[in-house]
A = this chain, B = another copy of it.
Amino acid sequence: MGKRILIVGGVAGGASCATRLRRLDETARIVLFERGPYVSFANCGLPYSIGGVIEEEKKLFVADAATFRDRFGIDVRVETEVVAIDREARQVEVRHLPTGEMRCEPYDALVLSPGASPVRPPLPGIDLPGIFTLRTIPGSRSIKAWITRHEARRAVIVGAGFIGLEMAENLVRLGLEVTLVEMLDQVMPPLDREMAREVERRLEAHGVKLALGDGVAGFHRTPGHSLSVETTGGRSHEADLVILSIGVRPESALAKAAGLERGERGGIAVDASMRTSDPRIWAVGDAVEVRDRILGGTGLLPLAGPANRQGRVAAESIAGRASRFPGVLGTAACGVFGLEVALTGASEKALRRAGVDDYEVVYLRPGDHADYYPGARPITLKLIFRREGGRLLGAQAIGEAGAVRRIDVIATALAFGGTVFDLEESELCYAPQFGSAKDAVNLAGMTAAAVVRGDMPVVQWHEPEGGATRWVDVRSPDEYRVGHLPGAVNVPLEEVRGRLDELRGLAGAGDLRVYCAVGQRGYLATRILLQHGIAVRNLTGGYFMASLGRS
């Protein structure tokens, strides 16, 4: 008889672990416990199921219990909750939810994949009807039913993370008026604030009302099955429906009760083979703390991709193979009203939080493909790297096309410990529809490499100005007239060589800064001035980033 392996939780990590185990060990007796009615469903699709983009709910079912049984010989027990672990006896106590029946199940190996639960803060009125979180298929049905039954017209979404934004888009699609309440002063917290601004503009352009920098104080019922959302800032938003998407919390209570070690953030602590502090117990997915490959230390990253790969690693470890989960970069993406928003590695604020300050940042706005071919659209790209040596730290990209692709490339370079010089030399696909001879990634590498090599000192949009600051706008007079930084002098790039004396005079004050639209002409001007002995810095991302960041 083979090993008896119990798996707690049948979505993403748990399901991947179960099927990988079977491929490695035909003799293992594998039992998968799932508290809900379904295993292996696509929870990332729930907002789009609510919005009707995914028309048939059944599309969300990746594999059902019969498939697990017939293809993999896996015994799936749905609506069954594991309520306690007896580590000494190597058994778990399970409750069949429909009947309440309890039983004990022995194990040789136990895998915990309980996921994370949406945060539901203990605010006044939090339990009023019409206030939902989104995690499960029955949960999504409740939201759809509520919208229909109450002919909901106004929704308040609390929390502007990935799920909050996806819900905003999908509720707008259903014709609802949406207000997004977020405690931070930006949407999509993993992004840096100035990048989030572009997402916010897109949300507003589609009619979403943003209430940033404001928290929820409580909820009241109002006449006609409606709700009033009261904020800590003293405002009040009417709603027929409230979605709480404040974040998730690892479901580590079972592990905690069993005395398993946990990390600083409350997740289950695991080693590189996804093993917990008990050598017979593994844990994977949203409930565990994972190593941050950029910043070191561990943290939570509740995403499906890492969960799936962790499930595989745990299976391999249980099957006796040497297998290591390398940790996470934090690659993530979200669609927002036609924008691709994507990021990988450390954000600037995460670096600051971690006390890292020997980094540099460049912004650029290349096209997703050659600008001579129709339909090219800009990608706002932020690249973060070590000042010395140019090692990559992170990147963020936003655009109507091609942003995800560039972040995938940079994430790949990041995983190899790559530098800005590697991006500079990247040999990527180019055809007029698909890229440029100098791809956005090449341009990002070239721009950053110019900083690392000392060819282009940069100034950031948020750096304070002093009495010595002199701005020179190297765009054309027409561009200058439409709008420019306060006090900026217009010296079009083509005139820089002819007006060196004047520029030398401006630099005399000690803090000469140039800018153009996005940074390219500013770079050329910087090269001219530096070579003539005139100290200068180029505003990275140009007028575009200054406008976006300061808005």
Contact = CB atoms under 8 A, between A and B. Distances in A.
Interface in A418-433: 418, 422, 424-433
Nearest to A456: B23
A150 interface: no
B416 A428 contact: no
A493 B433 CA distance: 41
Given A26-B532, A62-B372, A304 B53 contact: no
A551 interface: no
A44 B342 contact: no
Interface in A119-160: none
Interface string A302-333: 01111111001000000000000010110111
A205 B310 CA distance: 43
A437 B71 contact: no
B305 A53 contact: no
Contact of A48 (B71, B340, B373): B373
Interface stretch (A230-238, A240-248, A273-281, A407-415): A407-415
Interface stretch (A86-94, A208-216, A523-531, A542-550): A523-531
A409 B412 contact: yes
B528 A26 contact: yes
A415 B409 contact: no
Given A413-B416, A528-B26, A372 B405 contact: no
Contacts of A532: 26
Given A404-B405, A494-B70, A305 B439 contact: yes
A428 B305 contact: yes
Contacts of A42: 370, 372, 432
A334 interface: yes
Contacts of A225: none
A44 B428 contact: no
Nearest to A416: B416
A344 interface: yes
Given A26-B532, A54-B372, A432 B48 contact: yes
Given A426-B415, A532-B26, A494 B335 contact: no
B437 A308 contact: yes
Contacts of A372: 42, 45, 54, 59-60, 62
Q: Report which residue of A23, A45, A527 has the largest number of chain B beta carbons within 10 angstroms of its beta carbon.
A: A23
A409 B409 contact: yes
A415 B441 CA distance: 14
Interface of A: 12, 22-27, 42, 44-45, 48, 53-55, 59-60, 62, 70-73, 162, 303-309, 312, 326, 328-329, 331-335, 340, 342, 344, 370-374, 404-405, 407-409, 411-413, 415-416, 418, 422, 424-435, 437-439, 441-442, 446, 455, 493-494, 497, 521, 523-524, 527-528, 531-532
9 contacts: A54-B373, A60-B372, A333-B434, A335-B431, A335-B433, A335-B434, A408-B408, A408-B409, A408-B428
